[in-house]
Every structure is written in C-alpha cells, then in structure tokens.
Amino acid sequence: MQTSRILFFGSNPSINAVEQFPTLAWPDEDLEDYFLRRFGGGTRTWVDARLRVLLVDGTHGKRSSWVRFWAACRARATEILGRAARPGVDFAISEVVHCKSKGESENGRAVTRLATPVCSEKYTMRIIRASAAKVVCLMGDVPGAEFRSLLNAEKAVRFVGPVNVQALERYFVFLDHPAGRGNIKTIAAALTAEQIALICAAAR
C-alpha cells in the first residue's frame, strides 16, 4: 500500500467460510503479517501465485478457486505498466466497505449500500493518504459513485486528473465491475490514448 503506484478500490470483500481469516484470537504479529504481506513476503503463503487464498485446512483449494476480482486488478495493472504486474508490490487493493458479504448477492449489495457512507467517512481518505499510488482505479458502481461524489465529478465520467488528493497529484479511472454487466472493464475501453499515456507515465 505504501509503495504501490496503482491502487484499486472494490465495493467490499467477499466472504469465504473456509478461508483462513483473522479472528480476535490471532496475535498482533499474525494480523500484521496477514494484512501487510498477504500477497508475498509473509510467514505464510496467504495467497498463492494463482491468486488462491489459504484455507483452514492448510491448502489453497482447487485450481478454479482463484479470486477473479484480484485477477482483474492484476490484468488492469499489467495493462497500465506494460509488463506483468505484481500484487502487493506494483498495486494494492482496498474497498470502500470493509465488512465481508457473500459475493454480489442482494444482501451483499444492501450491506454495501448502507455501510458505504459510514465506512467511507471513516476510512477512504485515510487509505488514500497512506498510499503512494498516483493512479487509483475504481472497480464498479459502488466505489465509482463514492469517488465521483468525493471528487465532485459527473456521473458518467471515466477519468479525473491530475488532481491533488491527500498531498499527491493523482489520476482516477472509473471501470465497470469485472463480474458486472457493463463493458467498460479495461483501461483501453475506458480512456483515450492521451489519458492512457498520462496514467502510464504516472504509474511508471
């Protein structure tokens, strides 16, 4: 987070009942290891090279159990950098709501809609302030709407920047959710050639 040049925001994390996930019983050093070194360099392989989470049984699940949202973020970061992007190094991932829910279910959308004003007021700008990212990508309607409001941007806008936010000149890119119905899911589909050149230069 503190060194990654690209930051992605989703709506809220999905819940997985069999994931090895922190509880109140975990010691502080394990909590820090999980949240700061989840994509590499930690005491455990929290996420493997195929973007599969560590499960309570000590495995990383089946080949098909990779996290698609993370894969989409990696693909967009690769698109910006022009080379294979490394999660946790080249890019970081956060959410506007930090409570987990089951996928993008109706209940999950309700939780996100109700929690977004509270969570965003408490955490969003603190996350931005802690990040060195000059390129911020909003993945889907929930983070998109929240950041358009924070930036006083029009509803349909796909690009804002450069704008000084938390002491850094940053660019904001608004994409459709990777699993959603919209078709603006890539950098190339969302931005003009001039805008792409700006964010590529900022991220590199």
Q: Quick one: pLDDT at residue 71?
A: 95
In one-letter notation, the amino acid at residue 178 is P
Count CB atoms within 10 A of the CB of residue 20: 17
Q: Is residue 34 part of a domain?
A: no
The side-by-side arrangement of strands in the sheet containing 6-10 is 91-95, 6-10, 135-139, 168-175, 159-165
What integer pLDDT is reported at residue 110 of this predicted model? 62
Q: What is the pLDDT of residues 26-74, one digit of tens each?
A: 999 999 999 888 998 889 999 998 999 999 999 998 876 788 999 999 9
Question: What pLDDT is recorded for position 120?
Answer: 87
Looking at the chain, the whole-number percentage of residues with pLDDT higher than 90 is 67
Q: What tens digit of pLDDT does each residue of 114-171 get? A: 788 888 889 999 999 999 999 999 999 989 999 999 999 999 999 999 999 999 999 9
Q: What's the total number of domains in the chain?
A: 1
Give the pLDDT confidence score for residue 78 in this predicted structure. 97
Report yes or no on 144 lying in a domain: yes
Domain-embedded: residue 99:
yes
Residue 90 within a domain? yes
Write the CATH number for 113. Answer: 3.40.470.10
Range of the domain at 89: 6-15+67-203
Which residue reads 């959308």 in tokens? 109
pLDDT tier for residue 76 given thresholds of 50, 70 and 90: very high
Question: What is the mean pLDDT of the segment spanning 107-114?
Answer: 62
Whether 142 maps to a domain, the answer reads yes
**CB proximity list for 69: less than 8 A, separation 6 or greater:** 10, 14, 139, 178, 179
- For residue 58, being part of any structural domain is answered with no
pLDDT at 138: 97
Average pLDDT, whole number, for the chain? 90
Residue 33 forms part of a structural domain: no
Is 45 part of a structural domain of the chain?
no
Number of alpha carbons in the 13 Å side-chain half-sphere of residue 25:
2
